[in-house]
Amino acid sequence: MSLHALRAALPEGVLIVDPVALAVTRADKSGHRSASAPLAIVEAQAPEHVQAAMRWASEHGVPVVPRAAGTGLAGGAIASGGELVVSVDRMRRVLDISLIDQSCVVEPGIRNAELNEILATHGLWWPPDPASRAISTVGGNIATNAGGLLCAKYGVTREWVLALDVVLADGSRITTGHRTVKGVTGLDITALMIGSEGTLGIVVGATLKLRPLVDGVVWTVGAFFDDETTAAAACTAVTASRIRPAIMELVGRDAVAMLAAYTGRPMEGAFVLVQTDDLGAEATSETVAQILVAHGGRVERTDDLRESDALVQVRRQVHFALESFGTVLVEDISVPRSRLADMFVACDEAAARHGVRLAVTAHAGDGNLHPTFVFDGPEPSDAIWACANDVFAAGIALGGTLTGEHGVGILKRRWLVDELGERQLALQRAVKAAFDPLGILNPGKAL
């Protein structure tokens, strides 16, 4: 495939064919790697570059893989032979901040942490808070409808996006949504785009809803339990008591053991992390601590910033600890919060049945679990996939879903019909065809 016309349509330095750069796009954080490198990378610096790339791809029938930081965990941004990567990683500007409207307009490549550092100087904050916030992008959050530690109280990405600028498969550009707080004109295309994993269009700009920085002192409660079932029951009791903590996380025993080895800090049992904020945070944290103690937790409660950070890092460092023990495959299921303990039991039973190592953490405040396989070698074994199948089946049977925030990517396509059914899956593919008649946007992913 000749790249001459594409190169001519772009400024110098935007079209990348360096083999080292191409090799990077063959993988993301999922642990998967494609068999061969893509044709080229368009490192877009403006929406017009994305449009030029899509016009060329549409004319020549070339499949396109949208990409930014490449931190996804479902294989949704992996490129392979014959494909063109369109990267928005260099598009990192904040275009507008409105103190009155409590909104901002940003380019998709800006990192979560970077954005909130800028917003903090204005007394504002964008709540989506994935564990990878230092390296994940706003565009990636939108593509997967990312959640994170704070979504128990503040929700997922969809709740914090007002409007999107999107380049479609034919290179045309549309603006969806609105900058007003309310708006119900027509179908909600913005919500449809969020979580579509780059299969409907490429986001080149986003209008985000903000909130003022939280007032007062944040209180942190950490507790160790003998097992995950008891810890999950304690978390469910917190929710049932009508408390809505900012953070409520659960780290299983195996993950805690690996974290202890990784950090050198003595720890054992299952760990629960709770943070309360805003008015009444101190009293709420005391009530949380009492509930955790009543369920057998060994509790520490603090408002000291250093001590709080040490407790939070027990959760935030888990992924790095697991990676130090081998290759990891991070799964992502959600169940009703009342079935959290049942799902931990199902994970333990499936791992024992198939003889694999499965460390489980959870955003316990909203029922989103991350069963993580740890294994030797570059690819998961048949036993791991068999165990994953049992885990997914159990999650669906408990009234849950295959993915809470990572997306389907290439990892979970085989189970889509189990959750959606044939008719709904056909409807979703029809929607995809309406946006992308040639099927060139992220083919083989999500749907």
The residue extents of the domains of the chain are 4-87, 94-212, 215-312
CA distance 293 to 437: 57
pTM tops 0.85: yes
Q: For 215-312, CATH number?
A: 3.30.70.2190
Q: For 94-212, CATH number?
A: 3.30.465.10
DSSP state of 445: S
Nearest to 443 by CA among 34, 157, 22, 4: 34
3-state secondary structure of 86: strand
CA distance 400 to 394: 8
CA distance 303 to 194: 36
Q: For tokens 């930081």, name the residue.
A: 69
Contact (Cβ atoms closer than 8 angstroms) between residue 275 and residue 379:
no
CB burial of residue 270 (10 Å; 0-12, 13-18, 19+): buried
CA distance 256 to 298: 15
Nearest to 154 by CA among 277, 335, 332: 277
Contact (Cβ atoms closer than 8 angstroms) between residue 221 and residue 308:
no
CB burial of residue 93 (10 Å; 0-12, 13-18, 19+): middle
> Quick one: pLDDT at residue 1?
67
CA distance 71 to 248: 23
CA distance 369 to 336: 11
DSSP state of 215: P
How many Cβ atoms sit within 10 Å of the Cβ of residue 35?
7
| Length reported for the chain | 447
- The CATH class of the 4-87 domain is alpha beta
What token pair was written down for 175?
């603006």
CA distance 258 to 251: 11
Cα 278 to chain centroid, rounded: 25
Specify the pairing of strand 64-67 against strand 84-87: parallel
Question: Per-residue pLDDT for the chain (447 aa), expressed as one digit of tens each?
Answer: 689 999 999 999 999 999 999 999 999 988 789 999 999 999 999 999 999 999 999 999 999 999 999 989 889 999 999 999 999 999 999 999 999 999 999 999 999 999 999 999 999 999 998 877 888 999 999 999 998 888 889 999 999 999 999 999 999 999 999 999 889 999 999 999 999 999 999 999 999 999 999 988 999 999 999 999 999 999 999 999 999 999 999 999 999 999 999 999 999 999 999 999 998 999 999 999 999 999 999 999 999 999 999 999 888 899 899 999 999 999 999 999 999 999 999 999 999 999 999 999 999 999 999 999 999 988 899 999 999 999 999 999 999 999 989 999 988 888 999 999 999 999 999 999 999 999 999 999 998
CA distance 317 to 312: 9
What token pair was written down for 211?
């909130």
Nearest to 92 by CA among 74, 76, 77, 108: 108
